[in-house]
Structure 1
Amino acid sequence: MPTSEQIVHYFYRLFRNAGMETQNAKYLNALIGVIVLFVIVYVLDRIFKTLFVKLITHISERTKNQFDNFLVKNNAAGLTAHLFILLFILYALPFVLWDFPQTYVYIEKGVDIIAVFVVVLLVQSILRTFSDYLKTMRSFRDKPIHSYVQVFMIFAWFAAVVYIFTLLTNKSPWTFFSALGALSAVILLIFRDTILGFVASIQVTVNDMVRIGDWITMDKYNADGDVIEISLATVKVQNFDKTITTIPTYYLISDSFRNWRGMTRSEGRRIKRSILLKVSSIHYLSEEDVEELKDIELVREYLEQTSKEINNYNNEHHNNKKLLLNGKNMTNLGVFRIYIEKYLHQNPNVNSDMIMMSRQLEATPQGVPLEIYAFSRSKEWLEYEKIVSDIFDHLFAAVPYFNLELFEAPSNVLAIKREKR
């Protein structure tokens, strides 16, 4: 099979041997040569690209490594084929434009510029391949590799622009940098967001503030979900309702947000919720009340031991117990708090190795808040909500056994609020 160079020489000799030596014949020779070259280039590009892509695909299917699969996915083979075709054009052009050296110079520069773009796109394809491949590894899944690729591509495109400038102007790159310095104020104004995003992306990465897969909450942007992408300019958060919130990367260092990574790495997820008790239902416990509460197994030991201590104290100080206010006494609220702590300790879904308590908060017009502060063993959302619901279902049902009452807004108050709405 004749080579492309032989074909071009054949047509060139054909027209020269026919006696076409006039100026018009030169133009015709060049035009026919360019047409033939483009046809050859088109056919070779289709053949070479198809064969090269099939070869890489065939190799990738036979290897266990996924790297070559990502090369095919990111079109690295096709871009490499285009690059070889451009090199062929540069090699063949001198024979086609033999009589037009000045035209050849301009076309050569145009092909060089196209080759620069193809090289940059090929570099981008290879970097994306590395990014996709590294994301398959456990140690790199939560790293913002895409952000690194974008940073590198900024420098790659900048180098390409400088090179194209030198091709078009035949001047050194320092001339370009000098002009760039004069326009620095305008450039900073135009590319302000890009520069801020670039700096923020580096700070977020270096300080390990956010990783892919982290659960973050940012109330300003109504973001509450998992980070699915970190790029140079934006961070994408998939909320729990499956919507996507896009946050400028810069605001991750200028505004506050909550990262739940520490919770996911800890031994439990915090339970911090209160129940409201009526103040009027809180009272001292008489001996009869204490005896009645001893039927509750979780507080029986506490009641027996505490009763002895209180009786000894009151006898030593000769307190008049005709009135319960005198001396030491137990309250139904205090016993209920002990019951809650005992209940949490024996609950297998609560991590007893972490902080666990029931505490009384400052009284409000709606009653006394009794807060449960503990940590569930499971951190998965659905299981966590089930554990919390089970705990408070039990506590709400247990309140009457201690002669306590939960606060509820009167029905007439609720009706008035509905009417106002």
Structure 2
Amino acid sequence: MYAKHFLYDYLIEMGMSVTYARYINMIALLIALLIVALLVDYIVKRIIVNLFTQFTIKTKTKFDNFLVTNKVPKNVAHIIPLILGLEFIPVVFADFPYFENMVEKGFKVFAIILTLWIARSLLSALKDYFKTLSRLKDKPIDSYIQVFMIFAWVIGIFSAFAIITGIEFIKFMTTLGAASAIIILVFRDTILGFVASIQVSINDMVRISDWITFEKYGADGTVVEINLSTVKVQNFDKTITTIPTYALISDSFKNWRGMENSPGRRIKRALNIKLDSITYLSKDDVDTLKKIDLISSYVEKRQATIDSYNEKNNINKELPLNGRNMTNIGVFRKYIETYIENHSGINKDMMIMVRQLAPTSQGMPLEIYAFSSDKRWENYEYIMADIFDHTIAAVPYFNLELFEEPSNSSFKKLKPLS
């Protein structure tokens, strides 16, 4: 009893009114409890985290490492200060039953939240551990964890509401079940938006200022606002597209954040080479290509290797088909690759590749795959145009032709039948 009124009795003796003495006594006890709780939380957290860290060093399993990484010991350490607070609430608010009831409910709600934190961090540790197991790498572990956490959050939120309203959990759930049909009917879009907002936030799918492309809704621009029911996207033509928030989890869209955070932006485009222009290179062709600075050394070495092979194996070179030979498209492919590797606008630390795709009715696609070092749209387009301006103009030097659909001018060039 003395601990409850240690300051109260002193203030009464000093001549203070009973009301003021009770309030000051309550505030002093509350401050003392908060200081003690924070101090205990700090000490317990340090002890538990240090002990667990030392334990993980001595063990061979990786699971305890994931527990530390996902802050499981740190979250568990908060339980002791919480219990301490619940024990001393009656002491602090001895003269204020109404405040005691409110604060006790607040602590119980916090206990539910802390339980969910611990469950989430524990499940995250399990998820990371399961992903290291070969037999579980192809399983949708993230989906299982998310489903479990959704149920956990639903039960936690309902339990918190039951505590705040003072209704028993079973009665609260029964009442809620009876009203759920009407609630879902009236607030369908709001509920879907709320669930979607949680999913978007937890999975970090979209942020303000992200560039997204959502073809279904005609959106291609920057996210300027995310709220409960809609996501606003400012397109590059300055128009605004409004997307339902739940569409972000029900439909497919493209988020360009990964590209913006990466060191380069992908260039992926092909030239269609006419198939009948692809040939073996004659000696005169090889001599001509040796004059091209970027590939002169390559052509010389390659031709020397081929000649050595053909001579060693007594290949009859009356027909170019026999033995080994260089082709104009092969040398052209090497030229493009060398040109891109020396281009100032290309990131040399990322993939650079020039490849042939499957032939089609429109010729042989020769695809350029690389990454520009400048990711800004206008500069990216300039770099890509500069590369293709050069490569298209270089095609005739290799006795190749680009495929092109016939146009009116093509027919005008035809000579009339005599």
When normalised by structure 1's length, the TM-score is 0.56
Partner SS, residue 182 of structure 2: helix
Note the C-alpha offset of 1:179. Answer: 6.8
Counterpart for residue 255 of structure 2 = 259
Counterpart for residue 400 of structure 2 = 404
Is structure 2 residue 239 aligned with structure 1 residue 243? yes
Counterpart for residue 139 of structure 2 = none
What one-letter code is carried by the residue in structure 2 that aligns with 1:189? L
In the alignment, which of 335, 344, 367 is matched to residue 340 of structure 2? Answer: 344
Query: 1:246/1:285 Cα in 2 relative to 1: closer, same or farther (>3 Å)?
Result: same
Note the C-alpha offset of 1:182. Answer: 3.8
1:120-156 Cα offsets, whole Å, 9 max, x none, are xxxxxxxxxxxxxxxxxxxxxxxxxxxxxxxxxxx9x
Matches of 1:262 and 1:333, distance apart in 2: 35
Note the C-alpha offset of 1:384. Answer: 0.4
Is structure 2 residue 381 aligned with structure 1 residue 385? yes
Note the C-alpha offset of 1:192. Answer: 1.1
Counterpart for residue 103 of structure 1 = none
Counterpart for residue 36 of structure 2 = none
When normalised by structure 2's length, the TM-score is 0.56
Matches of 2:211 and 2:189, distance apart in 1: 25
In the alignment, which of 270, 282, 289 is matched to residue 286 of structure 1? Answer: 282
In the alignment, which of 304, 310, 314 is matched to residue 310 of structure 2? Answer: 314
Matches of 1:414 and 1:381, distance apart in 2: 35
1:51-93 Cα offsets, whole Å, 9 max, x none, are xxxxxxxxxxxxxxxxxxxxxxxxxxxxxxxxxxxxxxxxxxx
1:18-417 counterparts in 2 under 5 A?
182-412=178-408
Partner SS, residue 253 of structure 1: helix
Unaligned runs of 5+ in 2: 1-156, 412-418
Matches of 1:230 and 1:279, distance apart in 2: 51
Note the C-alpha offset of 1:357. Answer: 1.1
Matches of 1:413 and 1:369, distance apart in 2: 24
Matches of 1:246 and 1:303, distance apart in 2: 57
What one-letter code is carried by the residue in structure 1 that aligns with 2:309? Y
Matches of 1:289 and 1:364, distance apart in 2: 27
Note the C-alpha offset of 1:199. Answer: 0.8
Partner SS, residue 241 of structure 2: strand
Partner SS, residue 183 of structure 1: helix
Counterpart for residue 132 of structure 2 = none
Matches of 2:410 and 2:246, distance apart in 1: 45
Partner SS, residue 186 of structure 1: helix
What one-letter code is carried by the residue in structure 2 that aligns with 1:255? D
What one-letter code is carried by the residue in structure 1 that aligns with 2:238? K
Runs of 4+, deviation exceeding 4 Å: 172-181, 412-415
Unaligned runs of 5+ in 1: 1-154, 164-171, 416-421
Matches of 1:173 and 1:187, distance apart in 2: 22
Partner SS, residue 272 of structure 1: strand
Query: 1:173/1:326 Cα in 2 relative to 1: closer, same or farther (>3 Å)?
Result: same
Note the C-alpha offset of 1:184. Answer: 2.6
Matches of 1:204 and 1:261, distance apart in 2: 14
Over aligned residues, Cα RMSD in angstroms?
2.3
Matches of 1:333 and 1:414, distance apart in 2: 25
Partner SS, residue 298 of structure 1: helix
What one-letter code is carried by the residue in structure 2 that aligns with 1:301? S
Matches of 1:413 and 1:206, distance apart in 2: 59
Matches of 2:309 and 2:176, distance apart in 1: 88
Note the C-alpha offset of 1:183. Answer: 2.8
Matches of 1:181 and 1:256, distance apart in 2: 33
Matches of 2:381 and 2:232, distance apart in 1: 26
Matches of 1:375 and 1:183, distance apart in 2: 56
What one-letter code is carried by the residue in structure 2 that aligns with 1:285? L
What one-letter code is carried by the residue in structure 1 that aligns with 2:324? K
Matches of 1:330 and 1:379, distance apart in 2: 37
Matches of 2:337 and 2:302, distance apart in 1: 16
Partner SS, residue 289 of structure 1: helix
Counterpart for residue 97 of structure 1 = none
Note the C-alpha offset of 1:412. Answer: 4.4
1:255-274 Cα offsets, whole Å, 9 max, x none, are 11111111001110000001
Partner SS, residue 208 of structure 2: coil
Matches of 2:343 and 2:175, distance apart in 1: 72
Note the C-alpha offset of 1:180. Answer: 6.1
Matches of 1:331 and 1:180, distance apart in 2: 76
Note the C-alpha offset of 1:242. Answer: 1.0
Matches of 2:194 and 2:285, distance apart in 1: 69
